[in-house]
Amino acid sequence: MDVNEVKKEIMEKLELGELNSGVFYGEWAPVEGRDTLTSYSPIDGSPIAKVTMATKEDYEKVIKKAQESFEVWSDIPAPKRGWIVREIGNELRKYKRELGRLVSIEGGKTLTEGEGEVQEMIDIADFALGLSRQFYGLTIASEREHHRMYEQWLPIGPIGVITSFNFPCAVWAWNTMIASAAGDTSVWKPSSKGALVAIATMKIANRAVEGLGYPPIFFLVVGRGREVGEWMSTDTRLPLISFTGSIPTGKRIAENVAKRLGRTILELGGNNAAIVTPKADTTTALKGVAFRALATAGQRCTTTRRLILHESIYDDFLAKLKNIYEKVSIGNPLEKEVLMGPLIDEKAVENYLNAVKLAQEQGGKLIYGGERAKISGFENGHYVKPTIIEANPDMEIVKTETFAPILYVMKYRTIEEALEIHNNVPQGLSSAIFTTDLQEEEYFLSHRGSDCGIANVNTSTAGAEIGGAFGGEKETGGGRESGSDAWKAYMRRQTVTINYGKDLPLAQGVKFDI
Ligand code: NAD
């Protein structure tokens, strides 16, 4: 299959044309008089379609409409909102194949990864339905006679969602399915590199809502990051900005939102490591490391970027891993046997090559890869070889997230040393240990162990599932999404005290008799 064939199959079904409006404010903004961007497929460099970008006037209309819709939407009882969200999930089920294929041609993911991304949206819609009956508040014992205290959770308004290119729709759904059940409407600024997926997703989701007779609750603003991102992060009409992207951009967003004392959910870069101990099951460890270092061509926030191997198994494990790297099929991700597709664009290839160069300058030894992969017939695609570099933990480049399939391998002697190496980076998203030894496993999971938001035992750093709170510590930003009590970020907590007596007793024994 090639990009053109897939394009022919899906574009009409997804209601996409050669030129698409990138702004939805209850209706699609006209395409006239607006700048456009072209969405290219990283698979072969071919243009897929054009998308218009928002003007400031468009943005104002979006916010106004998101506020108006919030008035209606927030009045609907939460379980009913949950039921509507489930219908969005059902509509997505109908388009899983087409939308999944669009994710593949616009983002370069394999077909199963593309469909998997849509499945994640469906799963979170189901999760949100259950959640819509569980926005629990506590009842608190009052020290005052005839008083009752409790807390309730209320919707907060239209929220802003800014997303990265590598999960062009799942991350939007992680936020908005829960936020919608919670009673919020949402304004989405997708990555320009995933603009077509965003438009198609928006059409499917709003169609489900409108089909049930409700006003649209999802709004879209495609545009330049520096422009639209600034409008949103400085806009007090958006009480929460959920941002997924790189650490430098996240810092900028955090600063803007903090200046106006708004709220953020920050899901930023990771630098995830796997520790393999002498007690590991080698087959599981090899699969776990290779799969997550290579999948999505290393462009997952949870990609395994560092491998920490015990000295006694170092040579053997590295040799076996290299063997897998040599055999991995790189190329057109629309072909079933291909495991590793392209990087997103030429800039990403440059970053990859630069990181390989820096790693060697800083003392690293190239074991495998480190160069472009030449794929016949796909010369304009952005393919690189998966790369293994022997490194030491103090190299600057090892502490940096390069969004590409580069794995730094390091040696340790004791489990304490392994965790020191593990925690020796500014990021704190995901982590893994491969061991069958209970003491090693428990050390890894103790307060002296992994300092990440996600800690996995005998499974890889990537591959999170809906239900668990997803997010990381340190420079990863501290946000949590898509499970557990992450819903609280999309609502405001109100502590309520009711006096059903005839007096006005005060707490702490304070007297004020008039
Ligand atoms: P990016 O930071 O370049 O872009 C993210 C989003 O921010 C895009 O929509 C972009 O248009 C927008 N943007 C750019 N400049 C902006 C500005 N000045 N103000 C506001 N918004 C601006 O990130 P990317 O390259 O799209 O994505 C890759 C990064 O995302 C990696 O660092 C990866 O680890 C991270 N990521 C994190 C998670 C997580 O859950 N922790 C998930 C996916 C991706």
316 near 323, Cβ under 8 Å? no
Please give the radius of gyration of the chain, using alpha carbons only, rounded to the nearest integer: 24
- Report pLDDT for 211: 96
- My answer on whether 180 and 77 are in the same domain is yes
Q: How confident is the model at residue 514 (pLDDT cuts 50, 70, 90)?
A: confident
150, part of any domain? yes
- My answer on whether 95 and 62 are in the same domain is yes
Q: Residue 438 C-alpha to ligand 1 middle, in angstroms?
A: 38
- Report pLDDT for 226: 95
Ligand 1, from 244, 256, 473: best to mutate by most atoms within 8 Å of Cβ?
Answer: 244
Ligand 1, from 172, 246, 401: best to mutate by most atoms within 8 Å of Cβ?
Answer: 246
Burial 117-136 (b: 16+ CB within 10 A, else e): bbbbbbbbbbbbbebbeebe
Q: What is the CATH number of the domain that holds 391?
A: 3.40.309.10
162 near 242, Cβ under 8 Å? yes
Contacts of 348 (CB under 8 A, 6+ apart): 299, 382, 403, 404
- Report pLDDT for 422: 98
CA-nearest residue for atom 39, ligand 1, is 267
Residues framing ligand 1 (Cβ under 6 A): 162-167, 189, 191-192, 225-226, 229-230, 244-246, 249, 252-253, 267-270, 301, 401, 403, 429, 472, 476
How far is Cα 219 from Cα 69, in angstroms, rounded to an integer?
A: 10
509, part of any domain? no
Q: What percent of the chain has pLDDT over 90?
A: 98
Tokens, residue 451: 């300092």
**Consecutive H or E run containing 503:** none
> Which residue has tokens 């008083």?
147
- What is the span of the domain harbouring residue 254? 3-268+477-493
CA-nearest residue for atom 30, ligand 1, is 245
How far is Cα 214 from Cα 125, in angstroms, rounded to an integer?
A: 17
186 near 179, Cβ under 8 Å? yes
Q: How confident is the model at residue 193 (pLDDT cuts 50, 70, 90)?
A: very high
Q: What pLDDT, in 10s, does the model give residues 442-478? A: 999 999 999 999 999 999 999 889 999 999 999 999 9
514, part of any domain? no
354, part of any domain? yes
- My answer on whether 201 and 331 are in the same domain is no
pLDDT at 116 over 90: yes
- My answer on whether 248 and 369 are in the same domain is no
- My answer on whether 226 and 284 are in the same domain is no
Overall average pLDDT of the 25-37 stretch: 97
- Report pLDDT for 61: 98
- Report pLDDT for 127: 98
472, part of any domain? no
Q: What is the CATH number of the domain that holds 26?
A: 3.40.605.10
Q: Residue 172's closest CA among 215, 219, 234?
A: 219
* Pairing mode of beta strands 159-162, 240-244: parallel
- My answer on whether 107 and 9 are in the same domain is yes
How far is Cα 356 from Cα 70, in angstroms, rounded to an integer?
A: 49
How far is Cα 490 from Cα 176, in angstroms, rounded to an integer?
A: 9
Overall average pLDDT of the 326-340 stretch: 96
Summary mean pLDDT of the chain: 97
Overall average pLDDT of the 180-206 stretch: 98
- Report pLDDT for 463: 83
388 near 321, Cβ under 8 Å? yes
Q: What pLDDT, in 10s, does the model give residues 251-262? A: 999 999 999 999
- Report pLDDT for 201: 98
- My answer on whether 209 and 289 are in the same domain is no
CA-nearest residue for atom 19, ligand 1, is 229
